[in-house]
Amino acid sequence: MKTRGIFSVLCYKLCLQDMCTLREYRQGDEAMVFALLESALKHYGLSVNPEETDADIQDIDESYIRSGGAFKVLEDNGAVVGSYGLYTIDENTCELRKMYLKAEYKGRGLGKKMMEDAFIVARSLGFSTMILETNSCLKEAVSLYRKYGFTEYTPEHLSHRCNYAMRKSL
């Protein structure tokens, strides 16, 4: 009976993963990405800063795509439920930014799906190092980053809502 229950949970998670599509950002997604970001941060008592830290969302094409990076959204029935961006730092380094997932979609393997895709995309763009900034209150995210081999380091600068940074060789 216990094995059957585990099997049912795994099938449920796989079905949910199949329902969600990870796709390239398209112009017009900005408002949905901003709403996702606002909702995700609010859940942790953090706020959006559209003038500084989150100014990149206002023009994703310019901030990510034209600079040699990438931006993807996780979509469920036309709604953006997750996102991540690869922001070019230099020819070898990208920064993982805006990796968020709606609360009701957590625990279904979708963060893992986005993280693994981010590594594939980063390598295909020629990056050998990925960095990120985060806040310790985002416990699920920090746990995911550690699981995938990110380690803490001290950067020259941290965004206003972040309290530490991590990096990983690709």
As beta bridge partners, residue 113 has: none
- Going by pLDDT thresholds of 50, 70 and 90, the confidence category of residue 4 is low
Residues 134-152 have pLDDT tens digits of 999 999 999 999 999 999 9
HEC-encoded secondary structure of 29-91: CHHHHHHHHHHHHHHCCCCCCCCCCCHHHHHHHHHHHCCCCEEEEEEECCEEEEEEEEEECCC
How far apart, in Å, are the Cα atoms of 56 and each of 83, 86, 115, 156? 13, 11, 20, 20
d(C-alpha 12, C-alpha 71), whole Å: 27
What percentage of residues in the chain have a pLDDT greater than 70?
89
Q: Tell me the mean pLDDT in the region 104-132.
A: 96
CB 72 within 8 A of CB 83: yes
d(C-alpha 80, C-alpha 77), whole Å: 9
pTM listed for this prediction = 0.88
**Cα–Cα nearest to 73, from 18, 24, 30, 2:** 24
Residues 66-91 have pLDDT tens digits of 999 999 999 999 999 999 999 999 99
Quote the pLDDT of residue 76. Answer: 95
* Widest pairwise Cα distance in the chain: 54
Quote the pLDDT of residue 12. Answer: 42
CB atoms under 10 Å from CB of 144, counted, come to 17
What CATH number labels 20-169? Answer: 3.40.630.30
Q: Tell me the mean pLDDT in the region 1-23.
A: 57
How far apart, in Å, are the Cα atoms of 77 and each of 19, 21, 22? 8, 9, 12
Q: Where are the domains of the chain?
A: 20-169
Residues 47-56 have pLDDT tens digits of 999 998 999 9
